[in-house]
Structure 1
Amino acid sequence: MEYMIGVDLGTTSTKAVLFNDQNQVVTTANKAYPLYRDLPDMAEEDLTEIFDALIAALHEVVGQINFESGDTLAAVSFSSAMHSLIAFDANWQPLTRVITWADTRAVKYTEELKASGLGHEIYKKTGTPIHPMAPLSKLLWLKAEHADIYNKAAHYLGIKEYLFHRLFNANKMDISLASGTGLFNIFNLDWDDQALEVTGINRAQLPQPVEPYDYETHMATEYATAIGLPSDTPFIYGAGDGPLSNLGVNAVKPGVAAITIGTSGAIRVVSDKPVIDPKGRTFTYALDKTHWVVGGPVNNGGDVFRWARDNMFDAEKSTAALLGTDAYDLMTKIASRVPAGSAGLIFHPYLGGERAPIWDANARGSFFGLNHGHTRAHMLRSVLEGITFNVYMVSLALEEVVGELHSIQATGGFARSPLWRQMFADIFEQPVTVPEAFESGSLAAVIVAQKALGKIDNLYDISKYIGSSNTYQPLPENFEAYRELAPIFIRLSRQLQTEYENIANYQRKHTK
């Protein structure tokens, strides 16, 4: 048997998925690590913890391969979270932890860049909205507030590039991840001169941009031994998790949107060329040179559901642990008892600031419309509805840029919840299709590997392996309620935005 492994480098865990030569899942291994929020607006990861998670996950799934009997491992390929930044000195010693997309400490310098007018000019060339998520903003923050680090830094990488550097002594970044840095010109496929000038860094401090089909071999012996694979196994660079999610659910035709809700979330469509929003609301990231993903990311997805679990449903969490069941399943059963619209309770899910559609790192969450009749169940359903309404707002902006959306392919943790799937169908008033296979990002990474190695000619071969799907149709009794609430949600988000900076500054002042 010839196997391949798709690795999903996520914000809070790394998953390795072993596929056989029919692209069927054989086994998976998932290794979690913490997201450090030691200070207000911080969101960092530890390099060693992520590296160890990768080695452990790969070791576990490689253990299913019997090399002695003639089994082979054709490749390992990657899907990676975007927008991370790590500074290294001239000897490749790390000067920072992994500063993730969720870190918003660069908000002040982001707003200054926006106000100068330079931000929009850079966006029009890089396709990355001006926001603290992007390494562009993080570099401005380092320069202003951590000059000791900024002045020592000889190299800047993201998390996947660090892993490849440690395993192979490489210094490369695929153009998909590069296109999410805010430093990469998506029209000439090189680091952008104006972005470099603004941040004060040079090309020598950044990795070499390569195609997602590029790969490394001859891993350092100690790591190949620890994993249990041949050292000459090709490690394919792969691409960003957003672009690969579209490929993984076969959302590649015009008007077909992919919606992913994991820790964060996004809605995206594929274009054959970069598309820039005159209002700067959407991103354009590369899958490869001929496939571009246009969409909008949201900070607040499954992490908000987790917040609700940890702070409002502690008893259910304990009960689920005793019964050996999933607390989220118990919670969705509770939420399903409440009719659509949560009896007029609206939740804005901006616990971690927000990217699309409002691009405001100061945004904060809120319940609106609470009265004596509302219960925990109403609050829980409104949390799920609020996350969904927010993605719906992004879709309205996206349609202005790429045209009408007519169907949705769903992936991510939320796709396991029938209640949430139906909620998306009802709020969007569009059919929502959920592929049976949930490992869509890892499958897409493996398809990229097969193209890299010449085993297939076309990425669209993935359609053969998606498997059967479940489709949810919008229910009139639900979407009529949401038609009334959606405009209120949207108007409120605009009105509340006038006070987000004030309340965020208050919280920074009084949070220790």
Structure 2
Amino acid sequence: MPIPFLNVERRFGILRDYAIGIDIGTTSTKVVLFDERGAAVAHHSKSYPLLSEEPGSAEQNPDEIYEAVVYSLRETVRKSGGLAERIGFISFSTAMHSLIAVDRDGTPLTKSITWADTRSEPYTASIKGSSDAVDLYKRTGVPLHPMTPLFKLQWLKNESPDIFRKAASFVGIKDYILYRWFGEWVTDYASAAATGLWNMHELTWDEEALRLAAITPEKLPAIQPTTFYWETLSETLAKESGLDPLVKVVIGATDGPLSNLGVGAISPGDVAVTIGTSGAIRTTSTSPVLDAEGRTFCYPITEKHWVSGGPVNNGGLAFQWIHDLFQKEGESAYETFSVEAESVEPGAEGLLFLPYLTGERAPLWDAQAKGSFIGLTLRHTQKHMVRAVLEGTILNLYSVYSLIKDHVDDTKAIKIFATGGFTNSPLWKQILADVFQTEVSIPEHTESSCLGAVLLGRFALGETEWLQEAPMETKQYEKVMPNHENQEIYEELFNLYQSLSDAMQDQYKAIHDFQNKPKKESGK
């Protein structure tokens, strides 16, 4: 049964029922052409480096990203062949929290400072300790963390004052690309929300956040709903892409919320779990959901669709670490490690793993957090440790979910939609189902943010009446059912995990300081 798109436009006798989703990611840009059923029919991607030229920095060349977007778009159009004339619109997804200072001509004065840049940590710490911290979070919906442009602006003002004074505007990477095409500075609600400068209740820039950042609204892009679109391509975009000038361009939203939409987790209470190198858990609601202590994020898809949850630093990265630690030279044994760990009983015989190998965002928001095995005995082996790592990453995600689950509709069973590299491990998928004690659905299509951008675009253009009706007809899912015999084990294990995580938090700074003491010179 096809999706009930209502008003797909026919122009000059041509049905414009195909659409392109563009996802500007941290490591690459992906461009995918979808048909009217949401099936991918052509795609192209191009990667670019993440630059770390000094401690804590994580930057990218904005012009290199622009060229990757243009090239991937042009190649996708080329690969689509005769279908190109049926493309009705382009819609965007983008990675969050980027910041670029530009001059009056729109020329970058800085690289694109990404979410992974931690140089503003001291400025974040000073605000976190103030009485205004929780109020700031309750207005913006963004946990206080160096990832947000709010703190990047404070860092830039103090560390690079000449650039800060010279800058005419402060923008994100998607804003920069759209400016190159349309000559105007504009951003969407979701991208604005990710800056930490946006008031989610008033849908405008937050006065107090701007004061803290020492900027005025004139220094930021104009804010538009995620459903805003340009009626036609600019001359520049038409020439660079090879598309018909009558193609529309939808501003779109950000990658996390759009991933929820793309996998089908859009009805209130639906949960999306992603584990790649890092991970995230997000649930959907019709109004903003906030945590009393500011430990979860809340971003819009539209004014009536909100996504709350949290990102974690340590997902597949933890499995990669334990794999690299134990693998033999020249051997790649992820599958073997996973299969061997299946022979260990749930709970790994009381061995727990706190997966904070690279600090942690949600739920701790502590860049100095450290990973640890707790409960080691002589009977524990490599396979126990592997299972504990896989369980620890899921228990960590469940700890984030526990902060928002009281706001989830408890009149129906939750639905989990899972994506990411972890779905290649049958054991890891089963642990997810068992810890949450619910069915896990894994969509066959992996480019969920690109598809989410297209689905949002169809809603924006009036081709579908309800945002949540679109995904359900487009998906084929693998189903993983929970083993109810493991429910009691994982409930007990989660309580242990939470108490141990809480107990360790007071020690992380001391461990961090000890690990980072200057080394004594030899012989002195």
Do they superpose with TM above 0.5? yes
Equivalent residues in 2 for 1:478-489, closer than 5 Å: 478-489=486-497
Quick check: 1:341 aligned with 2:341?
no
- Correspondence for 1:413 among 404, 421, 431: 421
> Structure 1 residue aligned with 2:360, among 349, 354, 377?
354
C-alpha offsets along residues 284-319 of structure 1, whole Å, 9 cap, x if unaligned? 21111111112222222234444445555474xx55
Paired residues for 1:318-329 under 5 Å: 318-319=330-331, 328-329=334-335
Report matched runs for 1:59-208 at 5 Å.
59-67=74-82, 71-208=85-222
What's the counterpart of residue 7 of structure 1? 22
Whole-angstrom CA distance in 1 between matches of 2:348 and 2:53: 35
Q: Distance in 2 between matches of 1:74 and 1:328?
A: 43
Counterpart AA for 1:365: G
3-state SS of paired residue (1:444): helix
How do 1:190-269 residues align onto structure 2 when only pairs under 5 Å count? Answer: 190-216=204-230, 217-221=232-236, 224-269=238-283
Give me the TM-score of the superposition, normalised by structure 2.
0.88
Native 8 Å contact 1:140 1:199 kept in 2: yes
Q: What is the alpha-carbon distance in structure 1 between the residues aligned to residue 76 and residue 219 of structure 2?
A: 35
Partner residue in 2 for 1:324: none
Q: Check the 8 A contact 2:188/2:251 in 1, yes or no.
A: yes
1:501 aligns with 2:515: no
1:47 is matched with 62
Q: Which amino acid aligns with 1:255?
A: G
Q: Between Structure 1 and Structure 2, how many residues are aligned?
A: 501
C-alpha separation between the residues in 1 aligned to 2:321 and 2:184? 38
Question: Would the aligned equivalents of 1:248 and 1:466 in 2 still touch at CA under 8 Å?
Answer: no
Q: State the AA in 2 paired with 1:166.
A: R
Matches within 5 A, 1:458-497: 458-497=466-505
Q: Please state whether the residue corresponding to 1:64 is helix, strand or coil.
A: helix
1:65–1:436 CA distance, 2 compared to 1 (3 A):
closer
Return the alpha-carbon distance in structure 1 between the equivalents of residues 381 and 241 of structure 2: 50
Counterpart-to-counterpart distance in 2, 1:47 and 1:312: 39
Q: Distance in 1 between matches of 2:84 and 2:255?
A: 32
- Offset, 1:373: 4.3
Q: Report the AA paired with residue 493 of structure 1.
A: S
Partner AA of 2:451 in structure 1: L
Question: What is the deviation of 1:231?
Answer: 4.5
From the superposition, tell whether residues 58 and 141 of structure 1 become closer, same or farther in structure 2 (CA, over 3 Å).
same
For 1:442, give the aligned amino acid.
C
Q: How does 1:16-55 map to 2 (within 5 A)?
A: 16-55=31-70
Q: Kindly tell me: are residues 396 and 175 of structure 1, through their superposed partners in 2, closer, same or farther at Cα, counting changes over 3 Å?
A: same
Say whether the 8 Å CA contact 1:132–1:361 is kept in structure 2. no
Equivalents in 1 of 2:326, 2:244: separation in Å? 48
Instruction: Give the partner amino acid of 1:25.
Output: A
Higher Rg of the two aligned structures: 2
Taking a change above 3 Å as real, the CA distance of residues 220 and 312 of structure 1, as seen in their structure-2 partners, is farther
Change (3 A) 1:63 1:90: same
For the Cα contact (< 8 Å) 2:97–2:194, is it kept in 1?
Answer: yes
What is the SS of the residue equivalent to 1:71? helix
Aligned letter for 1:456?
Answer: T
17-26 or 332-341: bigger deviation: 332-341
Question: How far apart are the structure 2 equivalents of 1:390 and 1:130?
Answer: 19
Taking structure 1 as the reference length, what is the TM-score of the superposition? 0.89
Change (3 A) 1:243 1:359: same
CA distance in 1, matches of 2:324, 2:52: 16
State the SS of the aligned residue for 1:235: strand
State the Cα distance separating 1:347 from its structure 2 match: 2.2
Quote how far apart the aligned CAs of 1:112 are: 1.0
Higher mean C-alpha deviation, range 334-343 or range 94-103: 334-343
8 A Cα contact 1:409 1:432, kept in partner: yes
Aligned residue type for 2:474: I
Work out the CA distance in 2 between the residues paired with 1:96 and 1:508.
Answer: 29
Partner of 1:276: 290
* Amino-acid identity (%): 45
Once the two structures are TM-superposed, the CA of residue 61 in structure 1 deviates from its matched residue by 1.8
Contact 2:455 2:471 in 1 (8 A): no
Indicate the larger mover: 440-449 or 343-352. Answer: 343-352
> Structure 1: which 5+ runs fail to align?
321-326
- Contact kept, 8 Å, 1:349 with 1:366, in 2: the verdict is yes
Q: Partners in 2 of 1:39 and 1:310 — Cα distance?
A: 26
Aligned with 1:295 (options 309, 313, 319) = 309
**Paired residue secondary structure (2:404):** helix
Cross-structure match for 1:323: none
Residue matched to 2:443: 435
Give the superposition deviation at 1:201. 0.7
For 1:128 and 1:457, how far apart are their aligned partners in 2? 30
TM-fit CA distance, 1:465 = 3.1
List runs of 5+ in structure 2 lacking aligned partners. 1-14, 520-524
Is 1:365 aligned to residue 380 of structure 2? no
Distance in 1 (CA, whole Å) between partners of 2:233 and 2:501 is: 52
Measured in 2, the distance between the counterparts of 1:159 and 1:304 equals 29
* Counterpart amino acid of residue 438 in structure 2: Q
- Aligned equivalents of 1:165, 1:489: Cα separation in 2: 47
Contact 1:126-1:186 at 8 Å conserved across structures: yes
Letter of the aligned partner of 2:182 in structure 1?
Answer: F
Aligned-partner SS, 1:65: helix
Cα RMSD for the two superposed structures: 2.6
Report the secondary structure of 1:296's partner residue. strand
Per-residue deviation, residues 76-115 of structure 1 (Å, max 9, x unmatched): 2122221121222333222222222222222221121021
Q: How far is 1:208 from its partner?
A: 0.8
For the 8 Å contact 2:267–2:468, the answer to whether it is kept is: no
- The answer to whether the Cα contact below 8 Å between 1:300 and 1:387 also exists between their aligned partners in 2 is yes
Residues 70 and 176 (structure 1 numbering): CA distance in 2 closer, same or farther, change over 3 Å? closer
Tell me whether 399-408 or 421-430 shows the greater mean CA deviation.
Answer: 399-408
Distance in 2 (CA, whole Å) between partners of 1:224 and 1:337 is: 57
After TM superposition, give the deviation of residue 20 of structure 1 in Å.
1.6
Distance verdict in 2 for CA 1:416–1:399, change over 3 Å = same
SS in 1 for 2:362: coil
Query: 1:172 deviation in Å?
Result: 0.8
The alpha carbon displacement at 1:477 in A equals 4.7
Give the Cα–Cα distance (whole angstroms) in 2 for the partners of residues 383 and 346 of structure 1: 8
